[in-house]
Amino acid sequence: MQASIYKKNRTITGINCITGKAAALFFENDILIDVLEKESGQQHLPFIGPGLIDLQINGINGIDFNNPDLTPQDVVTATYYLLSKGITTFLPTVITNSDENICKLVHTIYTACLSDPVVNDCIWGIHVEGPFISPLPGAKGAHDEKYIRAPDWETFQKFQAAAGGKIKLTTMAPEWEGATAFIEKCNTHNILVSIGHSMADSEQIATAVKAGASLATHVGNAVPLLLPRHPNILFDILAEEALYACLITDGIHIPGSFIKVVMKNKGDHTLLVSDATCFAGMPAGEYQNHIGGTVIVDNEKRVSLKSTPGMLAGAAKSLLEDVEYLINQHLASAGESWKMASTNVAKMLAKNDKTFYNKHDDLVIFKFNGKEIQVEKVIKNKRVVFERNS
């Protein structure tokens, strides 16, 4: 999906969805040259928002980042599809698997980055979710237990070499022996560590944060259905002020009441992630998946393993749809919802990576079509990379 051709000089006026102020975008030859606030009494202007950033995405629209048969062209195709949904930065997420398959997958993603400059710009890094997670039922989720193990820096370095240094985030369980040293190593090498798929206790979480862990992966998920009243891992994560909380707000993974509690507790440390699988963008039905066998996607976009009814196996909504859910359920305003999927994430990344910038370089121009957000144009690194056909 390539950019359409603009007129040589063009100005687009819209409303900043976060600040509520009017802004004018000035283009020359398809390049954004300036953004200025302005007074506007015009009605029905489109909205302008920062590019959406997805830290956890396993696949999209039939393309699976965890299928060993993944090709570089698949990653390119997925990137342009995500751009059409307003996602200008993302981390393809590779989950627990054999060392051989993890190396193969991250190398394929790295190769795709080398093949297309837009793809390289969109993929800020790779998220490796596992294999250093808890093997306990409930905590391990749909991850294959036979590949789960204690954190090992040498193994991780093997993954990183295959990824060309592109791994920027890893999810792990800090209760493993050796976890603290592993987190410190990651911190030294500018790799973000997120606590997830874990049954760590209060002391283990506090120690992980002190060592450099800065996020919590899909808070409220990947824990057993029954937890001690208190203390428990959910309270401990919310109590750690330094931790950013990632939420899957698809209306399926966690209820609205929990989302509200996390947003009130974490404030600008609340981040939205999709945890989307290859089934996001696909119609309801049964699908064969290389992980878990037969997967069922229902009409509400719930993804579950046929062999384990009720066990969620990822998500089937994009980050844009997660923003829609918050707005339509009146859990947050449009500006607040968009901010949690863009600006909050950008500030977190910039705090940990001084090379990350996301001011006026990545923008999304959109309208509301009923309850749906309709993306009109997407700008990546000041260049138009998507425009909806009229």
Check whether 312 is labelled as a binding-site residue.
yes
Rounded Cα–Cα distance for residues 90 and 88 (Å): 7
Give the mean pLDDT of 76-92.
Answer: 98
Structure tokens at 308: 């384990």
Q: How many CA atoms lie within 13 A of 332 on its CB side?
A: 29
Strands 22-28 and 9-16, bridge-based pairing? antiparallel
Per residue in 205-214, pLDDT (tens digit) is 999 999 999 9
Contact present, 287 and 260 (Cβ < 8 Å) = no
Q: Over 70: is that where the pLDDT of 6 sits?
A: no
Q: Is 361 a catalytic residue?
A: no
Please tell me which residue in 30, 250, 275, 322 is annotated as part of the active site.
Answer: 275
C-alpha 317, offset from chain centre? 11
Check whether 314 is labelled as a binding-site residue.
yes
| Amino acid of residue 13 | T
Q: Which candidate, 17, 36, 16, places its Cα nearest to that of 26? A: 36
DSSP E strand boundaries for 182-309: 192-195, 215-216, 244-247, 270-272, 285-289, 293-297, 302-305
Per residue in 298-356, pLDDT (tens digit) is 999 998 888 777 677 789 999 999 999 999 999 999 999 999 999 999 999 988 777 77
Check whether 253 is labelled as a binding-site residue.
yes
In percent, the amount of the chain with pLDDT more than 90 equals 84
Check whether 360 is labelled as a binding-site residue.
no
Provide the 8-state DSSP code for 185: H
Q: Which domains does the chain carry?
A: 9-48+368-387 (no CATH), 50-278+311-354 (3.20.20.140)
Check whether 313 is labelled as a binding-site residue.
yes
Q: Coil, helix or strand for 227? A: coil
Strands 285-289 and 302-305, bridge-based pairing? unpaired
Check whether 218 is labelled as a binding-site residue.
yes
